[in-house]
Amino acid sequence: MSMAAAAAAIMAVLLAALMARASSAAAAGRVWADEEKGAHNGTARRQVTYDGRSLMLDGARRMLFSGDIHYPRSTPEMWPRLIESAREGGLDVIQTYVFWNVHEPIQGQYNFEGRYDLVKFIREIHAQGLYVSLRVGPFVEAEWKYGGLPFWLRGVPNITFRCNNEPYKVQVYTQVKTDVMYEVRVVHMQKFVAKIVNMMKDENLYYPQGGPIIISQIENEYKLVQAAFHSRGPPYVRWAAAMAVNLQTGIPWMMCKQDDAPDPIINTCNGLICGETFHGPNSPNKPALWTENWTSRYPLYGHDPRFRSPADIAFAVALFIARKKGSFVSYYMYHGGTNFGRFASSYVTTSYYDGAPLDEYGLIWQSTWSHLRELHAAVKQSEEPLLSGAYSNYSFGEQQEGHVFKTESNCVAFLVNFDKHKTSNIQFGEASFQLAPKSISILSSCRRVVFETAKINAQHGLRTAQVVQYLNNVDSWKVFKEPIPLAINNSTHIGNRLFEHLSTTKDETDYLWYLTRYDYRSNGDTQLVLNVESQAHVLHAYINNDYIGSVHGSHDGPRNIVLKTPIMLRKGQNSISLLSVMVGSPDSGAYMERRIFGVRKVSIQQGHQKSHSLNNELWKHQVNPGWLIWRNE
547: Cα within 13 Å, side-chain hemisphere: 6
Arithmetic mean of pLDDT, 312-332: 98
pLDDT tens string 518-533: 999 877 778 999 999 9
For residue 85, what pLDDT is reported? 98
Q: What is the rounded distance in angstroms from the CA atom of residue 365 to the CA atom of residue 356?
A: 7
Beta carbons of 619 and 495 less than 8 angstroms apart: yes
Q: What is the rounded distance in angstroms from the CA atom of residue 441 to the CA atom of residue 448?
A: 10
Higher per-residue confidence, 12 vs 412: 412
For residue 70, what pLDDT is reported? 98
Q: What is the rounded distance in angstroms from the CA atom of residue 305 to the CA atom of residue 262?
A: 38
Has 482 been annotated as catalytic? no
Domain boundary assignment for the chain? 45-156+192-382, 493-623
For residue 628, what pLDDT is reported? 47
pLDDT tens string 43-60: 568 999 999 999 999 999
> Measuring CA to CA, how many Å separate 465 from each of 361, 446, 462, 468, 469?
12, 46, 10, 9, 12
446-455: Cβ within 8 A, 24+ apart: 446/404, 446/406, 446/411, 446/412, 446/413, 450/378, 450/381, 451/314, 451/318, 451/374, 451/375, 451/378, 451/379, 453/311, 453/314, 453/315, 453/318, 453/375, 454/311, 454/315
* Mean of the per-residue pLDDT values of the chain: 89
Q: What is the rounded distance in angstroms from the CA atom of residue 140 to the CA atom of residue 149?
A: 8
Number of H helices, E strands in the chain: 14, 33
- 3-state SS of 396-457? EECCEEEEEEECCCCEEEEEEECCCCCCEEEEECCEEEEECCCEEEEEECCCEEEEECCCCC
pLDDT tens string 427-466: 999 999 999 999 999 999 999 999 999 999 988 888 888 8
CATH number of 493-623: 2.60.120.260
396: Cα within 13 Å, side-chain hemisphere: 20
Has 292 been annotated as catalytic? yes
Whether the bond into 138 is cis, omega within 30 of 0? yes
Please provide the size of the chain in residues.
633
CATH number of 45-156+192-382: 3.20.20.80
Q: Which of 502, 556, 586 is nearest to 148 (CA)?
A: 586
Arithmetic mean of pLDDT, 78-85: 98
Arithmetic mean of pLDDT, 587-603: 96
Its pTM stands at: 0.89
Q: Is the pLDDT of residue 405 over 60?
A: yes
Q: What is the rounded distance in angstroms from the CA atom of residue 149 to the CA atom of residue 162?
A: 10
For strands 528-534 and 628-631, give the pairing.
unpaired
pLDDT tens string 164-216: 876 676 544 444 444 443 333 347 899 999 999 999 999 999 999 999 999 99
DSSP-derived 3-state class of residue 9? helix
DSSP code per residue over 96-155: EE--HHHH-SBTTB---SGGG-HHHHHHHHHHTT-EEEEEEES---TTBGGGG--GGGGG
Q: What does the longest C-alpha to C-alpha distance in the chain come to?
A: 96
pLDDT tens string 107-129: 999 999 999 999 999 999 999 99
Arithmetic mean of pLDDT, 539-549: 96
Q: What is the rounded distance in angstroms from the CA atom of residue 517 to the CA atom of residue 246?
A: 59
Q: Which of 124, 221, 374, 533 is catalytic?
A: 221
Arithmetic mean of pLDDT, 267-296: 97
Q: Which of 104, 143, 292, 533 is catalytic?
A: 292
Beta carbons of 104 and 150 less than 8 angstroms apart: yes
